[in-house]
Amino acid sequence: MGKINAIITGVGGYVPDYVLTNEELSRMVDTNDEWIMTRVGIKERRILTEEGLGTSYMARKAAKQLMKKTGADPDSIDAVIVATSTADYHFPSTASIVIGKLGLKNAMAFDFWAACCGFLYSLDVASSMIQSGRYKRIILIGADKMSSATDYKDRNTCPLFGDGAAAVMLEGTEEENIGLIDSYLRTDGMGLPFLHMKAGGSVSPPSHFTVDHRMHFCYQEGRTVFRYAVTNMSDDCALIAERNGLTKDNINWVVPHQANMRIIEAVAKRLELPMEQVMVNIEHFGNTSAATIPLALWEYEPRLKKGDNIIMTAFGAGFVHGANYLRWAYDGK
């Protein structure tokens, strides 16, 4: 038996029906469409408004569509991994809820926390599981209900975030030079003061004080995060391109985390790629954290060709950052 490579064999996605527009946001906080579009490039975002539904609902919807598209036998799924920062509960895992709802009988499940880099990190881990030969078929989901962590009284952060989920099927192949080829993933560990949720964890459990002081929402020092994101995402893409012999002439697509249109443009400029080769969905989905990259793959899937060279990159709380180099395994469907 030859070396096993891990390939994506299908993509599924889900976004809620409710569209929160900039115009509606301008009635909630002191902002307007021009201000939001100029600074971050977001026109609208999807919000899961139904009471009692969390991240697992969107993850399950994406996984169900994925299984239907790929025709995968539910009993053949060996693992379900959910990359998220907005788990339904502290425990059990969101992935275990997805497995229960989908009726998967032979799968292990766990959540993966790496903020907006969650999909990139977990793709590397899941690919290693496939390459080991012990796992044949893994569903990897990026899903976040960011509206649950957003303060709609904070004009600086509330325009940024939306809700959504997307899932990929990972399988093994002995075909050479296909699938996940390389990853460069790093955590600098210095990001806590600049991007965090102050309360709700073991350091500061929920209390009247934490609720009254609105400590259960995303806090971000925007300028610092922006500067780090531009530098790291650009550098990571350049590094992974260089060590794999990739240039503007043979990179087909770049899939950047959808946090800010100016960051996306900076990454494209660093790689000397036209924006036509950059997957962008920030204008209508906003920042869905771990879901942004797989949602972009879901939208662009019909345009992908077998052998396409794809660089994916992200940056998030921690600070975590990195890039993956993927060679696409099938023609769009």
Could you give the C-alpha distances from 6 to 95, 149, 172, 293, 317, in angstroms and in order? 21, 33, 5, 18, 27
HSE, CB side, 13 Å, CA atoms: give it for residue 210. 14
Give dist(CA 327, CA 253) in Å, integer: 10
Q: What are phi and psi of 5, to 5 degrees?
A: -105, 145
Give dist(CA 196, CA 191) in Å, integer: 8
- Asked if 287 is an active-site residue, the reply is yes
Largest Cα span, the chain? 62
Q: Are 254 and 311 in contact (CB under 8 A)?
A: yes
| Helix/strand/coil for 220 | strand
| Helix/strand/coil for 81 | strand
Annotated catalytic residue, options 22, 158, 218, 257: 257
DSSP 107-151: -EEEEE--GGGHHHHHHHHHHHHHHTTS-SEEEEEEEEEGGGG--
Annotated catalytic residue, options 287, 309, 321, 324: 287
Give dist(CA 20, CA 158) in Å, integer: 11
Q: Are 260 and 223 in contact (CB under 8 A)?
A: no
Q: State the DSSP code for 313.
A: E
Give me the residue label for tokens 């954290």. 289
- Asked if 244 is an active-site residue, the reply is no
Give dist(CA 220, CA 218) in Å, integer: 6
Q: State the DSSP code for 287.
A: B
Annotated catalytic residue, options 5, 22, 116, 218: 116
- The sign of the torsion formed by the CA atoms of 6, 9, 14, 19 equals positive
Does residue 226 have a cis bond before it (omega within 30 degrees)? no
Q: What angle do the packed helices 55-70 and 94-102 form, to 10 degrees?
A: 50
- Asked if 116 is an active-site residue, the reply is yes
Residues noted as catalytic = 116, 257, 287
